[in-house]
Structure formats: structure tokens, C-alpha cells
Amino acid sequence: MQKPVSIKPYVLFHSGPFSQWHISSFRVDGVTYNCCEQYMMAEKARLFKDDDMHELILRATAPRQQKALGRGVRGFKEHTWKSNCLRIVTEGNLHKFRQNTELREKLMATGERTIAEAAPKDKIWGIGLHASDKRAQDMSTWRGTNLLGVALMTVRERLRKEKDDSEKKTDKKTDVPSSSPPAEPVSLGPQPEEPKETEAKRRRAKLRTKSSGRGRKKSDRRPRKSGAAGKGEWM
């Protein structure tokens, strides 16, 4: 008898398609980004109005270089960044997975499992543990907040909803009723009265028809007196 397949509750990664450093181009407002790390750091520079650094980050092609430049953004305020960083990373990944079909399919294939970045040195975006560490299989023993995993699961839910909404719209367009409802009688409204002249002619015709049916036979008629005018007869 074959043993049932055990599905692990966690999807642990440190590189690959779920990583911020994974090269996968996408466009946002006319600007092309080669990875989510570039989008994140460019938005960081824009948030603090460092236009020069923003331009340098967009020119950089290596994720490591993009990250280093992002750390040098002028006017940086930690509390402001904490309030915006998760939103920015979620938006970047939404564009990335929405525009790359193959990557989107891999994300959706995770089902309802918890996605976590197994980065031993990152306790903010990762869980602070390596994937081989037994503690990585228990959320209660994680050493980090796993913000990147949270962003990815939010994106997964958004894309799933978009797909469901799209399918519902398609179903409505193709839903044709099997038979048409019976046509309702058309009301012509009140009809105009016939002219009195026409009505009078109809009555006279009706009287003539009745009179011709009631005529007596010739044998039953009383003979006229010679020389006398028949007053009132056959009139």
C-alpha cells in the first residue's frame, strides 16, 4: 500500500523566483526594472526625494549594487521607511508576478502554504534561519519577521482574486438563455371611432340584408286593382 504524500506546510527559499534578486524584468509607469530589488531601492530613493540616487539605482544592473546604492539614500528616516517598505515590496512583486506568466504559475502552485525566506542573516525580510535548520519548520521558532514572505502571500491572494474576477466576467458574457421568453402582447391603445357616415352606411346595408330575407313569395302577394296606385307597398 502506497503511503500518503506529506505536504510540507512551508515553502522555504533563499534564491530562485521568489527572491528579490531574481532577474525578471517588469514595467511600472513606463520604467523597466530588472528585479524587485531595483524597484525597492528606487522607490526608497523616491520616497526620500533623492533624485540623484534614484537615477543611479535605475542605471545599476546588478542587484547587489542596487542594494548598496539604496543604503546611501540621503534624508533617510527609519520610521518613515518602516511605514512604507512592506507596501513598496508588495507592489513590486505584484508587478513582477503579474507580468511574468511562468513566475506567476510557480507562485500560485504554492497553494495555501506559508512562504518564507530562509535567510540566516536577515531577521526582517527573512526568518533568520537556514532552510536546513529544524526550527525553520516551526513558525514559533523563527528568529525573523519574514516580511518578504508576507508580501509574497499577499500578492498570491491578489492574483488569485484577479483570476476569479476575470473568469466570472467571462462566464457572464457567454451565458446565453436556453429559450427566449414569450413575447408580450402589444397594446395598440384606444382605437379611434369610425366616422358617423361610415357607420350609417353599415346599418343601412344590414337592414337591406334583413329585408331581402323576409320578402314574401309572388303567389302570396295580393293583386293590385287595375288603375289604382299601390300606396305604401314595396316601398
- Residue 188 burial class via C-beta count within 10 angstroms: exposed 0-12, middle 13-18, buried 19 and up: exposed
Q: What is the pLDDT of residue 169?
A: 82
Q: Which fold has domain 10-166?
A: Tetracycline Repressor; domain 2 (1.10.357)
pLDDT tens track for 187-197: 555 555 555 55
What is the overall mean pLDDT for the chain?
A: 84
Q: Does the structure show a pLDDT above 50 at 22?
A: yes
In degrees and rounded to multiples of 5, residue 115 shows phi and psi of -95, 130
Q: What is the pLDDT of residue 233?
A: 35
- Residue 154 burial class via C-beta count within 10 angstroms: exposed 0-12, middle 13-18, buried 19 and up: middle
Which cell is 202 given?
A: 353599415
Q: What are the residues facing 192 on neighbouring strands? A: none
Residue 26's contacts (CB-CB under 8 Å, 6 or more residues apart) are 32, 33, 39, 95, 96, 98, 99, 100
Interior CA angle at 81 toward 76 and 85, to 5°? Answer: 135
Quickly state the pLDDT bin for 166 (edges 50, 70, 90).
confident
Q: What is the pTM of this model?
A: 0.71
Q: Does the structure show a pLDDT above 60 at 85?
A: yes
Q: Does the structure show a pLDDT above 90 at 3?
A: no
Domain ranges within the chain, ordered by starting residue: 10-166
pLDDT tens track for 87-108: 999 999 999 999 999 999 999 9
Say if CB 11 and CB 110 are below 8 A apart.
Answer: yes
Mean pLDDT, range 23-48, rounded to an integer? 99
3-state secondary structure 173-196: HHCCCCCCCCCCCCCCCCCCCCCH
**In this predicted structure, which of 29-43, 95-109, 214-228 has the lowest mean pLDDT?**
214-228
Which cell is 154 given?
A: 499577499
Mean pLDDT, range 78-83, rounded to an integer? 98
